[in-house]
A and B are shown apart, each in its own frame.
Chain A
Amino acid sequence: MCDTCGCNVTPGNRRLIEIKGRLSVTPGDRMAIDVLQDLLRENDRQAWHNREHFDRHQVLAVNLMSSPGSGKTALLETTIEAIGHEFNIGVIEGDLETENDAQRIRAKGVPAIQITTGSACHLDAHMVHGALHQLDLENLDILFIENVGNLVCPASFDLGHHRNVTLLSVTEGDDKPAKYPVMFRAADAMLITKADLLPVLDDFKCANAERNLRNLANPAPVMEVSAKTRQGFNDWLTWLQRELQSYHQHLARGEKLCPKIQREGHDLHASAQASPAL
């Protein structure tokens, strides 16, 4: 749908289609230029810039991805209740429409910026850049970016964040990692949410969900949590605190922390394929 109606044109990337290369006319022959650059180079450049912002202010940025309705906002509400007194948390909310999620987060006493994407199906680095300048990064420890509910597109766009957390609710089916491999391969942690419903959903097996994740060669921790009963929240909060610690250690060593799986850059594949003859 997005490919024909043009709804993927987001406020962040609109300028890309408005650029028309100004070319000077000079006589000459055909030229073939070897490039080997990532197709989302402009987004990646902006993402790198965002990461610089986060690192300058020592803010761990966590990208939350899942299908719509799997409990991302509920996870954040309970997380804020549990550790909001200990850490300064900020939230960027991505949705097609409404301020609803940002209002739920603000009700917990935490700053939240809502990005409404119109009809775009993902956040990109330009949109996040616009939002992060509305936040007082100096006074934050952790920034959660709640991506648009979608198991496809958000996985392809680096936002400049440090960790990907993918949620899979027990009402969705334990084969989701096999059906959406690009998304789940990118997860640095997988949360099985709404775990309080497991006793009444006998067709969802956590072991199957974990096996499907491992089949993607992903060693990420799998945690069963319920934002309602706080079941499994110790594991989730411990993971978060360890990541925060590890992030600060990276910064102290002058290293960049990035999600474990990033799209392969040209360095990796520059010599992998012979170019077709002209």
Chain B
Amino acid sequence: MHELAVCQSIIEQVSRIAAEYQAQFVEKIHLQIGPLSGVEPELLESAFPIACANTAAAKAILVINKLPIRVRCDTCRSESEASASRLVCGVCGDWQTTLLSGGEMLLERVELLAEH
């Protein structure tokens, strides 16, 4: 529900980077999103056109790299995949785990075009 606010923050960061590199257009924006970030990739994609209108990223393509949830067990030290509502160890079942991946909400890379 807050994905538009996230998109606005992306555009603000990307615009700053484009200005820094004296680029005129942003061609592609690569993101890394994990299921535990609280951001829904599909909602982000639908909010993006609203946020990018009239900016250097108006024609940019949004590429979302969805990351899996992985945990490491604090007890048996195994690493396993997990689901958002069940972050327990996939090997011994212990709930005391550390999240290795799945909470990401990152601007990974931007591709810029200096002259169109």
Chain A residues packing against B (C-beta within 8 Å): 1-4, 6, 8-10, 13, 16-17, 19-43, 120-122, 124, 150, 152-153, 155-157, 177-179, 181-183, 185, 212, 214-217, 219, 263-264, 266, 269, 272-273, 275-276, 278
On whether A182 and B38 interact (CB within 8 A), knowing A25-B24, A264-B103, the answer reads yes
What residues on A are CB-neighbors of B9 within 8 Å?
13, 16, 39-43
CA distance A181 to B82 in the complex (A): 12
Tell me the interface secondary structure of chain B in the complex.
mixed
Chain B residues packing against A (C-beta within 8 Å): 1-6, 8-19, 21-24, 27, 30-32, 34, 36-39, 43, 46-47, 50-51, 54-56, 63, 65, 67, 71, 84-88, 95-99, 101, 103-115
**Residue from the list B1, B21, B31, B67 in contact with A33, Cβ < 8 A:** B21
| B71:A217 contact, CB within 8 angstroms | yes
B86 → A minimal CB distance (Å): 5
**Residue from the list A26, A34, A37, A269 in contact with B22, Cβ < 8 A:** A26
B81 → A minimal CB distance (Å): 14
On whether A23 and B71 interact (CB within 8 A), knowing A8-B4, A33-B17, A152-B2, the answer reads no
What residues on A are CB-neighbors of B55 within 8 Å?
20-21
| A215:B87 contact, CB within 8 angstroms | yes
Tell me the interface secondary structure of chain A in the complex.
loop
What residues on B are CB-neighbors of A31 within 8 Å?
21, 23, 111-114
What residues on B are CB-neighbors of A263 within 8 Å?
37, 103, 105
| B87:A217 contact, CB within 8 angstroms | yes
| A37:B1 contact, CB within 8 angstroms | no
**Residue from the list B16, B21, B107 in contact with A39, Cβ < 8 A:** B107
11 A-B residue pairings within 8 Å (CB atoms): A1-B1, A2-B3, A16-B8, A17-B11, A28-B23, A30-B114, A34-B109, A38-B105, A153-B1, A156-B39, A183-B38
